[in-house]
Structure 1
């Protein structure tokens, strides 16, 4: 490539996000972390803040060639205790922010005839771990609908839109909200009996961002050690 590609990663300050950033840097991308702390500070629950962050990215870096939406808000709420404001905040971060950022970055991608949009979903949408994960599972399933719609929308512009669905990954954030023994139970349900790491997701993202995935769009890579096979 003639110019260094710029990759913007939401949630890039977290465990999985920082692994994605590191892997994309290794692959030669100039990376931009868009998070509560990072290269561009943003509150993804606010459409105004998200749109302002997109404008700042384009002003400071001039472009976005690869957009990875890794930010994920996990707020356990079973149906009987569902709170509208908390529900909307989770959906704003997990789903809506991706739309506002693609809306801002896609025109430049289309003008250059190249773009990658990669959405981080979850294998939990196929078998929710518990009733308390209702909002999170819903948001991650919604991302796959967004992926397919955007893949059709932008295909003629050379923009590929795909997703990665990790399994239960051992991160500090996951350990803070899941029940004791949940990680061990997840490993037992997998074909490959090993703990999933942030790097597992990062490698899948790096592949989708590469020229080696030029023929892939509208697809989801399930990186869960065989817990779910499709």
Structure 2
């Protein structure tokens, strides 16, 4: 995370990345910094410490960003969690925690950052979702898949709500990406099976997601909003 600086950096676009200490999140941070953004991490483990399942903590994190940096031009919601839970084990408290992290937190942050984006006539809300919503994973990923599909719905609503203000909202829905977290939750051989099913025969890595995010944050994506980009190696075609 780059610290606020004086002079020309005050006009540098600021990108806030939730879950920026994770494998995908840290790759996103690196890609955005390489493209000229000043980055701010919101994470339990680094940057601005935050429990994204808590409304109070999430609102406080947004206030800290604005107090320290004065703006957020690009919000990237990478933070996520797996909590395997098939219908037979449905548990309301666990369900609501995951929904808070995946859906409520980005909405609260968007609410906090939108006024500044409107004032500047530019903004991007970029959410990491999942291609699993079209081809659902094992039954135990019920809350994960449901929340990612809902996050796409939120993205499209924000696109319609703020399009007239120069703010775009988009989602990146990667396929199964080779990260320590993914390796810890998928079954043995699942990663290899996904690669076999892809048109591009290589494992997906965090940089694949990060480069897609960096493109959506760039001037090259000015005509895009309300869209879902799917870097999944052609596991299935849309």
Please, what TM-score do these two structures have when normalized by structure 2?
Answer: 0.95
Separation in 2, partners of 1:228, 1:115: 31
Counterparts of 1:138-177 in structure 2 under 5 Å?
A: 138-177=146-185
Alignment pair present for 1:34 and 2:42: yes
Give the alignment partner of residue 131 of structure 2, picking from 113, 120, 123: 123
Post-superposition offset of 1:82: 1.1
Count of residues paired in the alignment: 230
* Aligned equivalent of 2:208: 200
Kept in 2: contact 1:123–1:228 (CA 8 A)? no
CA deviations over 1:63-83 (Å, ceiling 9, x no partner):
000000010111110000011
* Aligned equivalent of 2:76: 68
Q: Which runs of 4+ in 1 moved over 4 A?
A: none
Give the alignment partner of residue 90 of structure 1, picking from 84, 98, 101: 98
Give the alignment partner of residue 103 of structure 1, picking from 80, 105, 111: 111
Separation in 2, partners of 1:77, 1:26: 38
Post-superposition offset of 1:3: 1.7
Alignment pair present for 1:21 and 2:29: yes
Unaligned runs of 5+ in 2: 1-7
Separation in 2, partners of 1:97, 1:69: 9
Unaligned runs of 5+ in 1: none
Post-superposition offset of 1:228: 2.4
Separation in 2, partners of 1:220, 1:163: 5
* Aligned equivalent of 1:186: 194
Please, what TM-score do these two structures have when normalized by structure 1?
Answer: 0.98
Post-superposition offset of 1:110: 0.4
RMSD value, Cα? 1.0
